A and B are shown apart, each in its own frame.
Chain A
């Protein structure tokens, strides 16, 4: 089953923070985060594994809450380059560990 991402879109001013959530209805084994800019291929940001620690990629970090079956991506002190669509991909035992993607969150960072 497809994970649910929220919000669907967010507009930020440069320097502001944002949180993107990815929720699963099944127990999570791993969560992958990607950013895709218009007309480009996705870029892998990070992977979080069950029982693993919070990860970071520049000023973008993520957490994994096993109990809530949720992962959150934190955009801190956002830069113009953070604009794009962020996708989470989840692996669950229920889905045979097949990577299933959320619908994406559009992020626009304005000067």
Chain B
């Protein structure tokens, strides 16, 4: 089955601009999570969506937002970009069924803010 896809893979933006990243989960997975990874702060949880509802949100400013569509595809948006937003943004889709849990990450979107 197809894996998690993220678009675009690479992005260069200027401070003050906004950006939208997209994530298509594995077919049948209704939960999508977003993470930010930087050398300084490591891996940080951004948000989790399940069936179009935000189930949890990390400690990020309101400039970071997301949504999930009825087909489980998800987008995250960062407005008024700052240099510190340069990072690898990872999306993961997951499925919990009974005692089984599986989670797969997409390849990530590398965002550079100049």
* Contact (Cβ within 8 A) A96 B56: yes
Report the tally of A-B residue pairs with Cβ distances under 8 A: 42
Q: Residues of A contacting B57 with CB < 8 Å?
A: 98
A84 an interface residue at 8 Å Cβ cutoff?
Answer: no
Mark the stretch among B10-18, B68-76, B98-106 that contacts chain A: B98-106
Inter-chain CA distance A87–B42, complex, in Å, is: 10
Q: Once bound together, how far apart are the Cα atoms of A104 and B58, in whole Å?
A: 19
CA distance A101 to B103 in the complex (A): 16
A101 and B44 contacting across the interface, CB-CB below 8 Å? yes
Residues of B within 8 A of A44 (CB): 92, 94, 102-105
What's the dominant secondary structure at chain A's contact region? loop
Q: Which residues of B lie under 8 Å from residue A98 when comparing CB positions?
A: 45, 56-59
Sorting the interface of chain A by its residue count into under 10, 10 to 19, 20 to 34 or 35 or more gives 10 to 19
Say which size band chain B's interface belongs to.
Answer: 20 to 34
Residues of B within 8 A of A99 (CB): 33, 45, 56
A14 CB to nearest B CB, Å: 27
- Checking B45, B59, B105 against A41 with a beta-carbon cut-off of 8 angstroms, the contacting residue is B105
Q: B103 to nearest A CB, angstroms?
A: 4
B90 within 8 A of A: yes
Residue of A nearest to B4 (CB): A41
Instruction: Give chain A's interface residues, CB within 8 Å of chain B.
Output: 32, 40-44, 47, 87, 89, 96-104
Query: Can you list 9 contacts pairing A with B, beta carbon distance less than 8 Å?
Result: A41-B90, A44-B103, A47-B103, A89-B45, A96-B56, A97-B56, A98-B58, A98-B59, A101-B44
